Structure 1
Amino acid sequence: MTALQNPPSRPIDHLVQFGAADAAALLIGDRVTTYADLDAGVGRLASWLLDQAGGPGERVASWSAKTRFACLMPLAAARAGLIHVPVNPLLKAPQVRHILTDSGARLLVTNAARADTLGDGLPDECVFQDLKVAEEVIDSGGQGLPLSIAEPDDLAAILYTSGSTGRPKGVMLSHANLWLGAESVASYLKLAPADCVLGILPLSFDYGQNQLLSTWHAGAAVAPLDYLTARDVVKAVARHGITTLAGVPPLWVQLVESDWPAETAALLRRLTNSGGALTPSLIDAMRTTFPQADIYPMYGLTEAFRSTYLDPGLVAAHPTSMGRAIPHAEILVCRPDGSVADDDEPGELVHAGPLVAKGYWRDAERTAQRFKPAPAASRYGGTAVWSGDTVRRDKDGLLTFVGRDDAMIKTAGNRVSPTEVEDVAVASGLVFEAVAFGVPDPRLGAAIVLIVRGKGARDEDGLAAYLKQNLPNFMQPQAIEWRDALPRNPNGKLDRVAIAADWKVTA
């Protein structure tokens, strides 16, 4: 598939037009939302959101499980000319407060129990509305807003993602970013109106949100699921006749270890993976468990949505490859001077084209570090995302991941900033210093290890309890070790390499 130089796009809420009016668009429990219902519900929710937020251009945050409201929000906020800020339901109060404050959200829609965890921490300018009210609005029968007339470059969403240092940063996505991402995925996955996608990934992730958008671009149906165990996924596949399932490596490990009735496993036609590489042994297990399904390994970063995918026909011969650029993406492998690397020469993955986001919200410094002029060899030009990831391109144009330059920990499909974990540990008042890093783990991809220098008597239970209260589950350290002293480099900073190496020796 050839990347288009200037691909057309439409306002993202126009996706409600892509399915037959009476066809299923959304399946939640026993409720079937048709495309006609989707359009009407989006219009009503958009009108209500605009009234609550006070005017176009405001940020509106949603903090919810995969309710009908949460699924309609990406389209409803866009239709109202608002900017959607989805919040991962797994996050705890400290992270949510940061996102609300940083984004300048004027409205938070969540349930009362979640709102209560924020205490007095809701920003002064932010208003809380109960999720139940929003659900009632969708069914109110009132007149909603018509299809929007947004420009392709208008801001539609801010997705918060962890960085290698500091707190989560908001990635700004335009209508064109979301539209062309949906079109691209629907195209290379060959989604069709008869398909049914099981949406099990968090809607606050670009990968999870795209489960909705690409499905609706294809005129197909999506069944969101908040699952507790792999068995819940098996049951949902059977219940809804699921043909398409997206996951991350730790989930695939659980699924291939589950008991799949042959007739249920045979329903699946395509399996997609991102958030970490599939191992050859895991690919073999997926093939054995789901013999009728094509496997699509993928690579992406929130700053450019998705960059590459590996055609299923190449997976057997190239199980460790990232594949080639997705439609609407241009991928170059570059040397530090910006010139294009030779075949098999390691270089930085650079993503150019219309999927590149608009930068980080109100953070010009970090935007300038990641979003730079495209290499001279780029067909698109303009701004490109310099990923910081090292890859190789072979003579056939297939890419292979080599390593990550930053210190991000990729665990259970989530990107975790070590600094976020460390800051919470120090905030407990029980330790002077903390260093977090990832170590290989067969189920998680990477497990988090936390090394701390404590204050006085070691309060191991107290620190563990504080972390549990203030960090989401996927950020919890698998091991915490106390030290009387931590090594430093010549600049007086903590020597992270030495600390991690020492742990690996003594573990």
Structure 2
Amino acid sequence: MVPLDPTPYPIDTLPARGIPSEVALVDRAGTLDFAGLERLTGEVAAWLGAQGLDPGARVASWLPKTRLACVLPMAVPRAGFVHVPINPMLKRAQVAHILADSGAAQLITQAGRADTLESLDIPETCTIMLDHDVSWSGDPRPASSASGDTLAAILYTSGSTGRPKGVMLSHANLWLGAISVAHYLALERSDRVLGVLPLSFDYGQNQMFSTWAAGARYAPLNYLTARDVVKAVDRVGATTLAGVPPLWVQLLETEWPDAVANHLRRLTNSGGALTTSLIAGLRARFPQADLYPMYGLTEAFRSTYLPPALVDDHPESIGRAIPFAEILVVRPDGSRAETGEPGELVHAGPLVAGGYWQDAARTTQRFRPAPAWASSDGLAVWSGDTVVAADDGLLRFIGRDDEMIKSAGNRISPTEIEDAVVAGGETVEAVAIGVADPRLGQSIVVVLRGDGTREPELRARLRRDLPSFQQPQRYVWRDDLPRNANGKLDRAALKAEMTS
């Protein structure tokens, strides 16, 4: 198990964590050992340093999970710049916003992607470099000596609520996040981690970093279908797979040979809660795998995880604080909420990001001083999420304050409604939304996947299982539900559609 050393190191020193001769990366180009990963990081950093950019310049990348894309998160900070990864699923308008907002001095991308951009999409001060023009030769640049609080990356949120905003992450944020996750997942050098999540997503990038922090091998995958994931698990002998709930739904709908499913020893989930039916499905399909439900947000990386031994008895829980995180449950007046009392989840400690890039107003709203009774000093992330702590210290997620449905004087958690809707198997995915209602204030509309043939059965079951004030007023059936660039259900898009 990775030791919990609280000393933050520059993130570009990660390749030195592994045994030089052991494999660090498995991709279409073959394999790369840790010595090769270190050398390649230094070579790309040296090339970047020769481009004439000012110290602290933002270098954006808009790439699929190529070998270069895997190295840039370390090479850019080693060169003294700030990495801005752009999700390869984004389109030109979103890319243009990120380039302009970050003040990117350089964009590294592929010819096909560059051709989709128009002249006004590219700031005058930004140059485009194609991936095949990046030199991988010459004298490697040595590891940096950057301090922990030096800005290393700006990760833009998916933009599901308004325009994407850039979260500023330091070397310490990235390093300690990697050590924390590698430790509580008990990653070992023998592990083979399949990377299906975007590297622009903090969850996906950390999966790569935590793998290398443990000295294990990382296999990036650009996939089109769930079947591609099954094939990749078999091909690389993957022991670890990270996903978000919509991906697990797709994977459970795909055929898995028993021998391939049994490769997996560890499944991690974030980006949305696992329902009891999903947990049961994952248990049945992957009987050899430990299941790690996790909760987090980009502004604080990750807050909690639920150890596998507790999942079956506490499927509704988001667990306890991860290493290096201090998690507080706070009343509206700033005092500590009692056990069993709802409160806002506040995240403090060294994993808290540095705020939003060039957005003082939104930074002030989300990043505020920790309560006086907190152990950690400095700014904390006030999540806006409501949670409740049980007697055993486990936390239960209630809902986001801005997503709570207010109906007939009741505050209703959409998560609770969604869990109830999918519990009977009439559908596997659902989103509950509050829409304006002259009598109730808001009524509950559920958008769900399926053809609607089992709606009478669903309505009858919910009349039995839910109180009257939690009964959905309308069901909207769809062949599929929209997802954002990180693969999560796009609640904002559905809410905008249902309330327009």
Of 110-119 and 93-102, more deviation after overlay is shown by: 110-119
User: So what's the TM-score if we normalise by structure 2?
Assistant: 0.81
| Maintained 8 Å contact 2:245/2:488 | no
Q: Which amino acid aligns with 1:123?
A: P
Partner of 2:267: 271
**C-alpha distance in 2 between matches for 1:116 and 1:474:** 25
The Cα shift of 1:33 comes to: 0.8
Q: Tell whether the 8 Å contact from 1:169 to 1:361 is kept in structure 2 after alignment.
A: yes
Q: Could you tell me how far 1:406 is from its partner in structure 2?
A: 2.6
Other-structure match for 1:122: 122
Q: Does the C-alpha gap of structure 1 residues 165 and 200 become closer, same or farther in structure 2, counting only changes over 3 Å?
A: closer
CA distance in structure 1 between the partners assigned to 2:201 and 2:28 by the alignment: 22
Q: Does the CA-based 8 Å contact 2:158-2:486 persist in structure 1?
A: no
Contact 1:53 1:60 in 2 (8 A): no
Structure 1: distance between partners of 2:219 and 2:75: 19
Who is 1:52 aligned against? 51
Letter in 1 for 2:258: A
The DSSP-based 3-state class of the residue aligned with 1:384 is: strand
Residue identity in the other structure for 1:122: I
- Residue matched to 1:492: none
**Partner SS for 1:281:** helix
Kindly state the Cα deviation for residue 52 of structure 1 after the two structures are TM-superposed: 2.3
| Pairwise CA RMSD | 2.9
What displacement does 1:381 show?
A: 2.1
Find the counterpart in structure 2 of residue 353 from structure 1. Answer: 349
TM-fit CA distance, 1:440: 4.4
Q: Is the contact between residue 53 and residue 107 of structure 1 (CA under 8 Å) also seen in structure 2?
A: no
Report the secondary structure of 2:218's partner residue: strand
CA contact (8 A) 2:87 2:485 kept: no
In the alignment, what sits opposite 2:439? none
Aligned match for 1:200, one of 182, 196, 199: 196
User: How far did residue 254 of structure 1 move?
Assistant: 1.2
Letter in 1 for 2:448: D
> Offset of 1:258 from its aligned partner?
1.4
- Tell me what 2:384 maps to: 388
Change (3 A) 1:78 1:27: same
Verify the 8 A CA contact 1:345 1:392 in the aligned structure 2.
yes
Once the two structures are superposed, residues 240-280 of structure 1 have per-residue CA deviations (whole angstroms, 9 ceiling, x without a partner) of 11000000011111112211111111110100000100001
Residue 431 of structure 1 corresponds to none
- 1:271-326 deviation line (CA, Å, top 9, x unaligned): 00001000011101101100000000000000000100000000000011000000
Q: Is the partner of 2:19 in helix, strand or coil? A: coil
- CA displacement at 1:132 relative to structure 2: 1.3
Deviation string 1:66-94 (CA, Å, 9 cap, x unpaired) is 00010001100111111000000000000
Confirm or deny: 8 A CA contact 1:164 1:407 kept in the other structure: no
* Secondary structure in 2 matching 1:381: coil
Structure 1, unmatched stretches of 5+, are 412-417, 419-436, 444-467, 482-495
Paired with 1:479 and 1:302, the residues of 2 have a C-alpha distance of 17
Q: Give the structure 2 partner of residue 76 of structure 1.
A: 75
Q: Compared with structure 1, are the counterparts of its residues 41 and 438 closer, same or farther at alpha carbon in structure 2 (3 Å cutoff)?
A: farther
The structural deviation recorded for 1:475 is 9.8
- 1: distance between equivalents of 2:196 and 2:485? 18
Equivalent in the alignment of 1:364 = 360
- Residues 1:329 and 2:297 aligned together: no
Distance 1:351 1:163, change over 3 A: farther
How many residue pairs get aligned? The number is 432
> Per the alignment, in what secondary structure is the counterpart of residue 52 of structure 1?
coil
Query: Which one-letter code corresponds to 1:365 in the other structure?
Result: A
- Structure 1 114/352 Cα, relative in aligned 2: closer, same or farther at 3 Å? same
Alignment of 1:174-193 (within 5 A): 174-193=170-189
The structure-2 alpha-carbon separation of the partners of 1:472 and 1:283, relative to structure 1 and needing over 3 Å to count, comes to closer
Aligned counterpart, 2:279:
283
- The whole-number CA distance in structure 1 between the counterparts of 2:498 and 2:225 is 32
Letter of the structure 2 residue corresponding to residue 269 of structure 1: R
Counterpart CA distance in 2 for 1:276 and 1:199 is 18
Q: 1:480 Cα deviation (Å)?
A: 9.9
Question: Distance in 2 between the 1:187 and 1:44 partners?
Answer: 30
Task: From the superposition, tell whether residues 236 and 357 of structure 1 become closer, same or farther in structure 2 (CA, over 3 Å).
Answer: same
Partner of residue 133, structure 1: 133
Residues 251, 32 of structure 1: alpha-carbon distance in 2 compared, 3 angstrom cutoff: same
The equivalent of 2:42 in structure 1 is 43
The verdict on how the C-alpha distance between 1:132 and 1:87 changes in structure 2, with shifts beyond 3 A counting, is same
Identity, % of aligned positions: 61
Instruction: Tell me the distance in 1 between the aligned counterparts of 2:375 and 2:205.
Output: 28
The letter of the residue matching 1:29 is R
SS in structure 1 of the partner of residue 50 of structure 2:
helix
TM superposition shift of 1:382:
1.2
Instruction: Tell me, in whole angstroms, the C-alpha distance in 2 between the residues paired with 1:472 and 1:311.
Output: 28
Distance 1:122 1:21, change over 3 A: same
Gaps of 5+ in 2: 405-413, 419-432, 434-443, 451-481
Q: Describe the SS at the equivalent of 1:296.
A: strand
More displaced stretch, 372-381 vs 183-192: 372-381
| Residue identity matched to 1:221 | R
Query: Structure 1 length as normaliser, TM-score?
Result: 0.80
Query: Which amino acid is 2:41 matched to?
Result: V
Counterpart for residue 421 of structure 1: none
Cα 1:383–1:25 change in 2 (3 A) is same
**Partner Cα separation in structure 1 for residue 55 and residue 15 of structure 2:** 21
Does 2:399 align with 1:403? yes
CA separation of 1:397/1:403 partners in 2, compared to 1, >3 Å: closer, same or farther?
Answer: same
Q: How does 1:428-467 map to 2 (within 5 A)?
A: 440-441=447-448
Residue of 148, 153, 166 corresponding to 2:149: 153
- Work out whether residues 201 and 486 of structure 2, in 8 Å CA contact, stay in contact via their aligned partners in 1: no
Residues 378, 164 of structure 1: alpha-carbon distance in 2 compared, 3 angstrom cutoff:
farther
Identify if the C-alpha distance between structure 1 residues 438 and 222 changes in structure 2 by more than 3 Å, giving closer, same or farther: farther
Using the TM superposition, give the Cα deviation of residue 19 of structure 1 relative to its aligned residue in structure 2, in angstroms: 0.8
Shift in Å, 1:476: 11
SS of the residue 2:51 aligns to: helix
Aligned residue type for 2:24: A
2:14 corresponds to 1:7: no
**1:246 partnered with 2:242:** yes
